[in-house]
């Protein structure tokens, strides 16, 4: 008998708590069943916004809390120079190269290079608080 390990993206629908138009690729938090952009690097994100919408409209989120969302496109706050770079969360829900020191939350690993405000492919990991 053959066996295999199956893995699928954890993508779920939620209601937007605020206007998320044009915010695809940014990390979000989940509060009382609605999602909003990350607004502080002190809060671990729930996942990445895959489809946008206005307040009260349905949006989809790739859940990153368990590190099971697979390859997702994330929005850059600063350029990333090489694949394999760990990415840390910024206060507006974007990511940048992990600086390697200080309090921060690492949320993904880049699979490609990119410039500020570009969407790049990355592998989501369970958010890790580092110091």
| CA 78 distance to own-chain centroid | 15
Query: Is residue 11 predicted with pLDDT exceeding 90?
Result: no
Convert the pLDDT of each residue in 36-47 to its tens digit: 999 998 888 999
Task: Calculate the average pLDDT of the chain.
Answer: 90
For residue 12, give Cα distances in angstroms to 46, 61, 94, 119. Answer: 11, 5, 20, 20
For residue 26, give Cα distances in angstroms to 2, 32, 51. Answer: 39, 19, 10
Residue 126: the pLDDT is 84
Query: Is residue 125 predicted with pLDDT exceeding 70?
Result: yes
Q: Identify the H or E element spanning 95.
A: strand 95-97
Convert the pLDDT of each residue in 16-63 to its tens digit: 999 999 999 999 999 999 999 999 988 889 999 999 999 999 999 988
Angle formed at CA 41 by CA 63 and CA 57, multiple of 5 degrees: 45
State mean pLDDT over 94-101: 94
């Amino acid at each position: 008998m053959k066996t295999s390990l199956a893995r699928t993206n954890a993508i779920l629908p939620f209601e937007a708590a605020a206007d998320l138009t044009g915010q695809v690729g940014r990390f979000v938090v989940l509060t009382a069943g609605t999602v909003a952009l990350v607004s502080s690097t002190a809060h671990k994100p729930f996942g990445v916004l895959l489809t946008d919408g206005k307040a009260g409209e349905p949006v989809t989120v790739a859940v990153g809390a368990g590190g099971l969302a697979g390859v997702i496109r994330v929005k850059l706050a600063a350029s990333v120079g090489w694949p394999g770079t760990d990415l840390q969360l910024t206060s507006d829900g974007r990511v940048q190269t992990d600086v390697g020191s200080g309090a921060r939350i690492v949320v993904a690993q880049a699979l490609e290079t990119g410039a500020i405000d570009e969407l790049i492919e990355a592998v989501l990991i369970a958010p890790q608080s580092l110091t």
